[in-house]
Amino acid sequence: MRNLVRGAVTAALLLTGAATLAGPAAVDAQTAPGTFGTDAISSTVQVTGGNIHGAARDQDGVLSFKDIPFATPPVGKLRWQAPMPVRPWKGIRDARSYGNRCWAQPVFEGMGLHPVLKQDENCLTLNIETSAESVNEKRPVLVWIYGGGFEFQFGEGVQPFPNGKALVKKGAVLVTFNYRLGVLGYFAHPELDKEGSLSGNFGLMDQIAALKWVKANISRFGGDPDKVTVFGESAGSHAVGLLMSSPLSKGLFQRAIGESGSFWENEHGSICTRATAFAQSAALMKKLGVKNIDELRALPPDKLMLETPWDLTTDPAVTAFAPCEGDSVLPKSPASAFMAKEQNDVPLLAGWNAFEGSLFLSRMLPHANAAEFRAAAAKQFGQARMPEFLKNYPADTDAEAKSSAAQLIGDLAIGAQTWEWLNLQKATGKSPVYGYEFTFTSPFTPIPAHTAEITYVFGSLAPQIFTPPNVTPGPEDRQLANLMTSYWVNFARNGNPNGPGLPQWPEYGGAGTSVMQFGKTTGAITELGTSRYRFIESYRINGRLPEAWRKTE
């Protein structure tokens, strides 16, 4: 897999459980008790379930708390169940070290993106960083949702990217958390439905449970439970769009930030249906030779992961276990929910990077030569519409076809739906909308690739997938990080990214209007790619892209 990712990098460049003092017990509700009769925040805090002890304030005055349970571990009979309330513990829980990470596909193992932490189903914990000194400060809360195709953990709470000290020092309380992935997070089956709520989308249920925990407890860390912003990148950004679409997350956040993704759509069309999820689960049970859910639950999690492999060469929305519509979490497709004005109407800030196709080049339409690309495009988009297609994705020469194929996969996997998210919220919502495009390059960030903006948003300036060896951030990188952290915290605080000393970021006015460009200079520009995105949008009927696309080879 290391070679696969390095190959993608090369092609893109060419194109251009912690310990407790006692065991757990049952609990009936998630409520937030008080903090020892004082308003001061120390390294010991009382939360749902009991007392926790985090790391002492560092030299910047930042307190950190790790491995805080927000739900009962989903093990045994609780595998493939909605997250259950936290069980209380006795004594003081050590919250100074990261806990287990959820089981994930090993897509990026060995590349420095995963620390050596135990994978375990007992992983539903969160981490908090705050520099507040009093519970009364009501600071804005940023809740990060990591990406990774709902299959692996890219930038979770134990990674360099969410080293959120820059955001915390600017006045935010930062929360990161784990959620179930792959087959453990998105297995749906009629037998499970009989056990309670509709099965599937357990990973999204985990996200909602984490947000409920935040609402109940974040004031103990100086955060404002009524000023919560969810933000994420890639699958994390898709998750933000899904949460805005879900009736179950209503009132749990007041702002939304999406970095590259929105509706969990890809080159094969819209998010899968419940029927597709059932068929996928039945096929797995047949493959494993199990007769019922009890036998499936008896299998170890590593076997389940090994039997459901996924890597960057395939579309996870088709070949992996991932979110689907048709249950109480997502009653309908996300785009349909927005079109029906049923979304959680909160201020939205969202955007995409100039070269989103960077990690998805192995999934491009065939393009060995211009004729092959044109033939593949005609098969997917229809021969009658090829003149319009070729205006947006020209293919007069082999080189032009290769460039257009890379542009197209980035648009289908990320760009078009993120653009449509902005436009649907603008058209059907009442809250303000802000759009951006990330075009920045430097020796540290040689291409504006998928994921490239994360290190600037967090201000950590940690090396990225595309950072060349032995290259460190320069002054231009630090300047951009300072701008982006300021905008993100301002938006979390006010629902508006603007603030003193920052270039003015105009509200998004709809297709073809102004977005903020984060590039060699930062400022408002007329959005790029409008014609391409409108072309893809035109294929949507009743909120869904063509079902035939899911069968496209």
CA distance 247 to 329: 7
User: Is the pLDDT score of 32 beyond 50?
Assistant: no
User: Is the pLDDT score of 127 beyond 60?
Assistant: yes
Predicted pLDDT at 3: 47
> Is 417:405 a contact under the CB 8 Å cutoff?
no
Task: Say which residue the tokens 């805005």 belong to.
Answer: 244
Q: Find the range with the poorest average confidence among 96-110, 230-244, 284-298, 400-414.
A: 96-110
Angle between helices 235-245 and 416-428 (to 10 degrees): 20
Q: Find the range with the poorest average confidence among 98-112, 154-168, 216-230, 472-486.
A: 154-168
Higher pLDDT, 212 or 1: 212
Helix, strand or coil, per DSSP, at residue 257: strand
| Structural domain count of the chain | 1
CA distance 445 to 425: 31
Predicted pLDDT at 25: 29
Predicted pLDDT at 552: 55
Tens of pLDDT, residues 208-230: 999 999 999 999 999 999 999 99
The runs of H, that is alpha helices, within 97-220 are 165-169, 182-186, 190-193, 202-217
Residues assigned a catalytic role: 234, 356, 450
| Mean pLDDT to the nearest integer, 183-191 | 96
Q: How confident is the model at residue 246 (pLDDT cuts 50, 70, 90)?
A: very high
Predicted pLDDT at 396: 97
Average pLDDT, the chain: 90
Predicted pLDDT at 27: 29
Higher pLDDT, 451 or 163: 451
| Mean pLDDT to the nearest integer, 288-317 | 91
User: Is the pLDDT score of 485 beyond 80?
Assistant: yes
Predicted pLDDT at 5: 47
Predicted pLDDT at 151: 86
Question: Pick from 131, 119, 186, 187: which is nearest to 156 by CA?
Answer: 119
Give the whole-number percent of the chain exceeding pLDDT 70. Answer: 89
Q: Find the range with the poorest average confidence among 61-75, 95-109, 231-245, 346-360.
A: 95-109
User: Is the pLDDT score of 30 beyond 50?
Assistant: no
User: Is the pLDDT score of 201 beyond 70?
Assistant: yes
User: Is the pLDDT score of 483 beyond 70?
Assistant: yes
| Residues contacting residue 100 through CB under 8 Å, at least 6 positions apart | 17, 117, 118, 119, 120, 122, 123, 125, 178
> Is 447:16 a contact under the CB 8 Å cutoff?
yes
> Is 284:306 a contact under the CB 8 Å cutoff?
no
The runs of H, that is alpha helices, within 85-234 are 165-169, 182-186, 190-193, 202-217
Higher pLDDT, 129 or 33: 129
CA distance 446 to 440: 8
Predicted pLDDT at 12: 52
Range of the domain at 269: 2-551
Predicted pLDDT at 313: 83
| Mean pLDDT to the nearest integer, 225-248 | 98
User: Is the pLDDT score of 474 beyond 60?
Assistant: yes
CATH number at residue 474: 3.40.50.1820
Beta-carbon-side half-sphere exposure of residue 486 (alpha carbons within 13 Å): 15
| Mean pLDDT to the nearest integer, 155-184 | 83
User: Is the pLDDT score of 115 beyond 70?
Assistant: no
Tens of pLDDT, residues 391-415: 999 999 999 999 999 999 999 999 9
* Residues 119, 326, 344: CA angle, nearest 5 degrees: 85
pTM of the entire predicted model? 0.93
Q: How confident is the model at residue 22 (pLDDT cuts 50, 70, 90)?
A: very low
Task: Say which residue the tokens 């449509």 belong to.
Answer: 420
Helix, strand or coil, per DSSP, at residue 27: coil
Tens of pLDDT, residues 458-472: 999 988 889 999 999
CA distance 176 to 241: 18
CA distance 104 to 179: 10
Higher pLDDT, 397 or 20: 397
- Dihedral sign of CA atoms 455, 460, 461, 466 in order: negative
User: Is the pLDDT score of 109 beyond 90?
Assistant: no
Predicted pLDDT at 311: 80
Tens of pLDDT, residues 131-150: 999 999 999 999 999 998 99
CA distance 34 to 519: 46
User: Is the pLDDT score of 252 beyond 70?
Assistant: yes
CA distance 506 to 516: 8
| Mean pLDDT to the nearest integer, 55-83 | 96
* Residues 92, 93, 95: CA angle, nearest 5 degrees: 130
Tens of pLDDT, residues 490-538: 999 999 999 999 999 999 999 999 999 999 999 999 999 999 999 999 9
